[in-house]
Amino acid sequence: MEGPQYPFLASREAFAEFRRAWEAGTLPKAEWTHAAHVAMAACYVVEFGDGAFERMKAGIIRYNLAVGGQNTDTSGYHETLTRLWSNVIATEVAGITCPWAAAVAAAGKYGAARDLHARYYSFDVVKSVQARREWIPPDLAG
């Protein structure tokens, strides 16, 4: 059975336009899905290597504000989840040199895996203000 299809990954051009819109803060909020987060993280890993996490973090914070969201103790950017996903995605796309190919591969595997973090974190840790604001190592075996 074939996995979900994402229009923003249909071609290199579609992904380039999606990326431009996200980085400019003009991407409609409804299009900033989990799969979109995964794809952008993969793209950034290929392009920026060790600097990918910081760029992704800054991008998420900036985008949230651009679409009228806030980054507070209860909503918006989440440090622990972003760092976890950055690590997972970096492992998944290791060796891929094309940002679009990395985005396709990562979204294909993890685009629908929104709850993967539950293998690594208990509910209370993920919902804590501390986890939203700073990295907390996994409290479950994974």
Q: Residue 134 domain-assigned?
A: no
Q: Residue 130 domain-assigned?
A: no
Q: Residue 53 domain-assigned?
A: yes
Q: Residue 141 domain-assigned?
A: no
pLDDT of the residue at 1: 33
Buried b (16+ CB within 10 A) or exposed e, 80-92: bbbbbbbebbbeb
Q: Residue 61 domain-assigned?
A: yes
Residue with tokens 């990326």: 19
Q: Which residues contact 5 (CB under 8 A, 6 or more apart)?
A: none
Angle (CA) 23 28 29, round 5°: 95
Q: Residue 137 domain-assigned?
A: no
pLDDT of the residue at 142: 72
pLDDT of the residue at 5: 86
pLDDT of the residue at 9: 97
- Which parts of the chain sit beneath pLDDT 70? 1-4
Q: Residue 138 domain-assigned?
A: no
- Number of structural domains the chain divides into: 1
Q: Residue 135 domain-assigned?
A: no
pTM of the model: 0.93
Domain boundaries, position 88: 7-114
pLDDT of the residue at 4: 62
